[in-house]
A and B are shown apart, each in its own frame.
Chain A
């Protein structure tokens, strides 16, 4: 049994203009210790997916269909008490901006001890010892003094380390990291990413990494999911997706990487922008931006086609593959 299995997940937001589906037909599995990358443009539904795994979609959103099986139990219909026991304890989450995720008026120690005491019957002294240990694990120098400081007394990188330490506090099974390095400067990004991977490996923690950065995904994760307008359009082993993307959208993303551009020329972009969720085109949501669009693409929602170890939602997979082989042959 996989650690986490998401089946046909659907999340809707009830707006005045009607119900909008932010996520449709999401299926994937995650094993213990596995690292999964979740890629897509802004608005693709990555963060909503992250929150829905913890059943923390705030109103007017709700999980309107499907199951989220964590160790076989469905998180979508758990009682609030059961959910509280999972949140922070078995599945924890790390947010984008460490300036905002720490409460400015409580010391780091108070926040960590509070989290420990919420889940375990534990004395303040013991909780403090564990908190110091975790701060040591994330390589914060002199954690004994740092623990009594307020967030504003720490630098950005240091704060994100604290946030990671809080994420690891209860030895969770899964960490969901929602763009954990976006708010940091580039030199620190690499350090923090490395640290997270190392800690996940050492503690056998599964990681769901939400990011726009395909570079990070290729370095860190074993599996990748590409999302577009609330659907998964391609998923499979990271290496295959990076080296041999099947979906025209994924190909576009790869081509848009600065490394792919020829010096002196403009960067490659995917033309157009992601459609608003209220106005998703019929058929394949990507069709207005796609170079290979056919009649089928504008009429029918593409199902998933297996290609190697990947699942791709595109009508054109077979055709594109043939064309590719032909051009290679020529």
Chain B
């Protein structure tokens, strides 16, 4: 017995299995600061809740707010079910002016708001990253031209551009077509209006990164410019990209809501959170506060949570901001 044990002990140590990605992640600073930070945990939980609501809206929602046959005008403006006089148990958050179940509509609205927000930010990020990388890496005249472009874009406020473009589109192609294309138009407008945010941030970090020796080393290896920019420099600028992405999604959701509130966003037949708030606004003085207030709270919480997550991420990814 003992000899057996000895031989097995004398054997070469079995090389440790490479740790899985999850195990590696548990060793990181991000994870450690996450399990210590209550606010980040709560924010992420709530945000995940929103994501699940958005993803599974059709399964969760008791009614389909897009299906006119499920709407009964007789049910319009019913207060939430906890109101004992008027409330109806079918509609726990009440109904809107057209008799749609508010809870279902909010679920679908969150879905639309999040989709538009994320898609718009993806578009911003793509344009901004490419332009920022090229401007920062090439420098000189290319940098000047691209950044003046960004300055011009920034000097128009997002809202102004969006209102002009969407209004002109609505006027020239008719409301019918607009309603079909509203989502795409919103993504395009918000995406294009805000790319300079990304371009500037990325250009700044590229300027810092390109002076580092690993870039020289990559050039010495004979790698091409494209490779150096996208494979060597870009991954090193990822932390500011992540941080502004969270903030930008929140901003895009707000922009979408504001545009919808002004009647230039999602049509009333497919309301986003913004158009829902706007549609209830007319009835707020007739006592139907819930049509505006409830989607409003949902929107505020969503944006707040995303901003808190962005704050936390910035603290984690920027070692200079360590709070000790």
Contacts and interface: CB of A to CB of B under 8 A. Distances in A.
B18 to A, nearest CB: 7
Query: Which 4 pairs of residues, A with B, have the shortest CB-CB distance?
Result: A87-B222, A88-B221, A88-B222, A100-B213
Interface stretch (B2-10, B146-154, B223-231, B309-317): B223-231
B235 A93 contact: no
Contacts of A92: 220-221
Nearest to A50: B220
Contacts of B221: 87-88, 92, 114-115, 118, 166
Interface residues of B, number: 21
Nearest to B15: A145
B15 A95 contact: no
Given A97-B213, A145-B18, 18 more contacts: A86-B222, A88-B222, A92-B221, A101-B216, A101-B217, A103-B217, A103-B232, A103-B236, A105-B235, A105-B236, A106-B231, A106-B232, A114-B221, A115-B222, A118-B221, A118-B222, A119-B222, A166-B217
B214 interface: yes
Contacts of A118: 221-224, 227
A95 B235 contact: no
Contacts of A145: 15, 18
A114 B231 CA distance: 10
Interface of B: 15, 18, 140, 212-214, 216-224, 227, 231-232, 235-236, 238
Nearest to B225: A80
B223 A95 contact: no
A102 B224 CA distance: 17
Nearest to A145: B15
Contact of A89 (B217, B219, B222): B222
Interface in A77-103: 83-89, 92-93, 95-97, 100-103
Interface of A: 54, 56, 59, 83-89, 92-93, 95-97, 100-106, 114-115, 118-119, 142, 145, 148, 163, 166
Contacts of B216: 56, 95, 101
A86 B219 CA distance: 11
Given A103-B236, A106-B235, A85 B222 contact: yes
Interface of B (DSSP majority class): helix
Contacts of B220: 54, 56, 87-88, 92-93
B221 to A, nearest CB: 4
A197 to B, nearest CB: 21
Contacts of B235: 103, 105-106
A169 to B, nearest CB: 8
A209 to B, nearest CB: 16
A84 B221 CA distance: 8
Contacts of B223: 84, 88, 114-115, 118
B15 A142 contact: yes
Nearest to B235: A105
12 contacts: A56-B220, A83-B222, A85-B222, A86-B222, A92-B221, A93-B220, A95-B213, A100-B214, A102-B217, A103-B218, A104-B236, A118-B223
Contacts of A87: 219-222
Contacts of A115: 221-223
A100 B212 contact: yes
A104 B214 contact: yes
A266 to B, nearest CB: 36
Contact of A103 (B140, B214, B219): B214
A59 B137 CA distance: 13
Contacts of B236: 103-105
Nearest to A83: B222
A148 B231 contact: no
Contacts of A166: 217, 221
Contact of B224 (A84, A96, A103, A142): A84
Contacts of B217: 93, 95, 101-103, 163, 166
Contacts of B218: 103
Nearest to B140: A59
A101 B222 contact: no
Contacts of A148: 18
A170 to B, nearest CB: 9
A85 B222 CA distance: 7
A54 B216 CA distance: 11
Contacts of B227: 114, 118
A86 B222 CA distance: 7
Contact of B214 (A54, A83, A84, A102): A102
B263 to A, nearest CB: 46
Given A87-B222, A118-B223, A145-B15, A101 B214 contact: yes
A60 to B, nearest CB: 10
A160 to B, nearest CB: 12
A100 B227 CA distance: 18
Contacts of B15: 142, 145
Contacts of A119: 222
